[in-house]
Structure 1
Amino acid sequence: MNPVITIVGRPNVGKSTLFNRLTRSRDALVADFSGLTRDRHYGKGRIGERAFICVDTGGFEPVAKTGIVAEMAKQTKQAVAESDIVIFLVDGRLGMAPQDRVIADFLRKTGRPVILAVNKTEGMQAGVVTADFHELGLGEPFPISSAHGDGVRGLIDDALDSLGIAEPDEEELANDPNRPMKIAVVGRPNVGKSTLINKLIGEERVIAFDMPGTTRDAIEVPFERNGKPYILVDTAGLRRRGKVFEAIEKFSVVKTLQAIADCNVVILMLDAQQDISEQDAHIAGFIVEAGRALVVAVNKWDGIDAYVKERARLEIAQKLRFLDFANVHPISAKKGTGLKELFKDVDSAYAAAMAKLPTPRLTRILQEAIEHQQPKRVGMGRPKLRYAHQGGMNPPIVVIHGTSLSGVTDSYKRYLEGRFRDVFKLRGTPLRIQMNTAKNPYVDADKGKKGKKR
């Protein structure tokens, strides 16, 4: 499971700047709740091959008793409780403030690992700017610059190293016959996620209640089906961000993101009796960004007439068209209909995500695709795609080598993706196409000749 790194500090020390640098962009995995300084943001960060969940909190005043400041402190305390490690950010230019001592005392009492980071140290001597902060008693202060990126890589490397986190070998895990497949069931509140899990395992293992928000945490439930071990993960329903009010529910969102990142296959549940919403598309975006194999289950299919069924099919095809790689199954979690076909596709989606793609066959498919349709010209030339090999799995990554590949259009990449999918039967998993342009050996030589002429 990806670790949670929470950034804590008093107002205006650069927490959000550090968060934005770690997450690189406010993409689908970042939820911007209203009130940037009051609420928190969460996002997916990555340093090298190691991924983590990053949480940005509002300005922290632990002793606040009433008002919005107290609510901000309550959320930050909950964030610290849910985190694996805390980055305590202070302002190196303003120096240590009395509030920093109060926050340090609070963090010591929580027992959570803490790394003290001194921000805004660009252009200053590290020993001088960090000197005052030694008295906080939180170990060696780490000088960084959130705005310029100085020291940020080393800070996160130290944080992850202190947790002893190693990146799993996906190929080794896939070849382990005793490792159960982990399946996360996600969707909006009250679509029937807990009901589906209870029906699959044959008992009331998780609370299923006709009220949105019943499930607050990600619950893992081991079970066997046809002699094969699985782990089902029941997650909290992800609401539209304007509807998420309670602090505990907002951290249910973090747990759901962790469950998606940690699973092998995601079952995205939709409600056939409701329209496909923008939030359904957001959840689907989380899954695609994480690169997880996917099966779509349209629940409560038994309770609608033929007209509504046809409208639901059209809505899914239009609003979730970026999920065209995934199979869609109408089911009834309550009655148990359609579950056999659903799990058949869960198994095939996982097999596709972990498929091995031989280099000779990939290159042959690439050359056949080029013969059928060449990429568009760029200026006077045309991109030359020479060979391809597999660059990773879960999701499968196809790396294509050649020259002038920056000119390959997105539509041509989708064309190649379709060819690879058809041949290798990669149904149910995202597929990444990466272009690796060879360096022109004559560029430096030409520059040298021009220099000599001068």
Structure 2
Amino acid sequence: MLPVVAIVGRPNVGKSTLFNALTRTRDALVADMPGVTRDRQYGISRVGKNPCLLVDTGGLVSNAEGIDYLTAQQVHQAIEESELVLFVVSARDGLMAEDKEIASLLRKSSSQVVMVANKIDGLDEETAVADFASLGMGDLLPVAATHRRGLDSMMRRVEQLLPEAPEAEEEETTDRLRLAIVGRPNVGKSTLVNRLLGEERVLAFDQPGTTRDTISTMMERDGQEYELIDTAGVRRRSRVTEVVEKFSTIKALQAIERAHVVVLMLDANEGLTDQDTTLLGHVLTQGRALVIALNKWDGLDPDHRKRIRSDMDRKLTYVDWAQRVTLSALHGSGIQELMKAVQVAWKSALKDFSTPELTRVLTAAFDAHQPPMKHGRTAKLRYAHSGGKLPPRIIIHGSRTDTIPDSYRRYLVNRFIKHFKLKGTPVFIDFRDSDNPYKNRKNVLSRRQLEKRKRLKKFTGRKSRK
């Protein structure tokens, strides 16, 4: 499971800038005014060779009576849910009263804390961080998140403190299928789990957010062992008010990372919403096999069903490899089709590819449509081989592969998917430039060649004088 690292600090110390720098995105809204980040942002960062889930929290501001009850709850929840806390202060502003109150809360916990002094650019480091030593938080790491200065040494420190990632067990990828059921609140996830299990194992109630934790349950169906992972619904940020529900999003993202196949449940009455699209993006980022389930289908009239199907076709062109299933978790219709789609996606994600067959498909695709020229030259693709499973990864060797655009990469992906009849799994392609052994080697002439060149020079010299 992904370790969680929370970024904590008062407003306007650069938490969101640090978040964007570490995740290499611009997902967190950044502005030079306090309180811009009103809710948590989540992103994947990398600590050494291992990924981690990074949480950008809203600023913690004290009031006349100190940090209020809700804010204190948020800090305690962040500490409880995270393996490590990055406590960010501003070297430019110096030590503030809010910094002292946050440090006091962190000192009372058993959580590991790394103190980071941001906005160090243009300042004398020793002078700028001297005041913060009084907080007693240990070594302070100076960084300038805007310019990425000091981030490498900070992440090396984080790597030392985080627990080592456990080695993946090979038998888990072939025996027990880990199936995550994710979606917005009240789309019927727990009802589906109960239908699959045949009992009221998971609390289900017609109110958003009744499932608060990630719940794993073992089951067997048609000879296949499953580990069902039911998560709390992912809610619109403006509607997330309770601290526990804020961290339920972390559990959903961890469930996606843990799963082999993800069932993304949608409410057929509402169609595809912005929250569904965001969650789908996390599934694609993790490269998980995917089945899209349209629940509550039985309550729609034919015209509504036609509109929903048309809307899905228009909005989901970028995941046309994923199977879509209509069902009613409450009444049990469509469950058999859903589990068949899960099995197909699972088998596609585990499919073996031989190097000769991959190379034949690559050659046929290249002959039918070559990549566009750049600077008068085009890339050459020579051969392909398998690079892994879950999801399938194909390594393509050639020359000038850095000039290949994303559109041509998608073209190759579609050719491989079509040829191997893959359903329900993404396919990733990595390009590798083949090494030229003569690239940096100078041509050394033999004695005979040197004498011949001397005679030619002598001859051309006489000719020019005439």
Fold match, TM over 0.5? Answer: yes
TM-score by length of 2: 0.84
CA displacement, residues 97-123 of structure 1 (integer Å, 9 cap, x when unaligned): 444333222112122111222333446
Question: 1:166, 1:155 → 2: CA distance?
Answer: 19
1:221 counterpart SS class: strand
Aligned: 1:429 with 2:425: yes
User: 5 Å matches for 1:104-119?
Assistant: 104-119=103-118
Question: 2:95, 2:215 → 1: CA distance?
Answer: 42
1:164 counterpart SS class: coil
Question: 1:285, 1:242 → 2: CA distance?
Answer: 20
Question: 1:415, 1:187 → 2: CA distance?
Answer: 30
Aligned partners of 2:7 and 2:57 also within 8 Å: yes
Give the equivalent residue in structure 2 for 1:89. Answer: 88
Give the equivalent residue in structure 2 for 1:4. Answer: 4
Question: 1:442, 1:92 → 2: CA distance?
Answer: 52
- Paired amino acid for 2:25: S
Give the equivalent residue in structure 2 for 1:410. Answer: 406
Question: 2:344, 2:274 → 1: CA distance?
Answer: 28
1:110 counterpart SS class: coil
Give the equivalent residue in structure 1 for 2:57. Answer: 57
Segments of 5+ residues of structure 2 without an aligned counterpart are 443-466
Deviates more, 1:207-216 or 1:155-164: 155-164
Aligned: 1:17 with 2:17: yes
Aligned partners of 1:297 and 1:329 also within 8 Å: yes
Once the 2 structures are TM-superposed, how far is the Cα of residue 391 of structure 1 from its aligned partner? 3.3
Question: 2:354, 2:134 → 1: CA distance?
Answer: 58
Once the 2 structures are TM-superposed, how far is the Cα of residue 234 of structure 1 from its aligned partner? 1.3
TM-score by length of 1: 0.86
Aligned: 1:209 with 2:205: yes
2:384 counterpart SS class: strand
CA displacement, residues 184-239 of structure 1 (integer Å, 9 cap, x when unaligned): 11112211111000010111111111122222222222222234321111122223
- Paired amino acid for 1:214: T
Question: 1:99, 1:212 → 2: CA distance?
Answer: 35
Give the equivalent residue in structure 1 for 2:453. Answer: none
Aligned partners of 2:47 and 2:159 also within 8 Å: no
Once the 2 structures are TM-superposed, how far is the Cα of residue 351 of structure 1 from its aligned partner? 2.6
Once the 2 structures are TM-superposed, how far is the Cα of residue 244 of structure 1 from its aligned partner? 3.2
- The percentage of counterpart residues that share the same residue type is 46
1:200 counterpart SS class: helix
Aligned partners of 1:59 and 1:72 also within 8 Å: no
- Paired amino acid for 2:79: V
CA displacement, residues 43-73 of structure 1 (integer Å, 9 cap, x when unaligned): 2222443111111223324676489x76545
Once the 2 structures are TM-superposed, how far is the Cα of residue 74 of structure 1 from its aligned partner? 3.9
Distance 1:353 1:130, change over 3 A: farther
Give the equivalent residue in structure 1 for 2:215. Answer: 219
Segments of 5+ residues of structure 1 without an aligned counterpart are 447-454
- Paired amino acid for 1:3: P
Give the equivalent residue in structure 2 for 1:103. Answer: 102
Aligned partners of 1:58 and 1:76 also within 8 Å: no
Aligned: 1:369 with 2:365: yes
Once the 2 structures are TM-superposed, how far is the Cα of residue 385 of structure 1 from its aligned partner? 1.4
Give the equivalent residue in structure 2 for 1:383. Answer: 379
Deviates more, 1:348-357 or 1:108-117: 348-357
Aligned partners of 2:47 and 2:158 also within 8 Å: no
1:43 counterpart SS class: strand
User: 5 Å matches for 1:111-260?
Assistant: 111-122=110-121, 130-166=129-165, 168-169=167-168, 173-175=172-174, 177=175, 180-260=176-256
Superposed CA RMSD in Å reads 3.0
Aligned partners of 2:391 and 2:425 also within 8 Å: yes
Question: 1:130, 1:392 → 2: CA distance?
Answer: 47
- Paired amino acid for 1:142: L
Give the equivalent residue in structure 2 for 1:451. Answer: none
CA displacement, residues 158-181 of structure 1 (integer Å, 9 cap, x when unaligned): 324323222644756425x4xx32
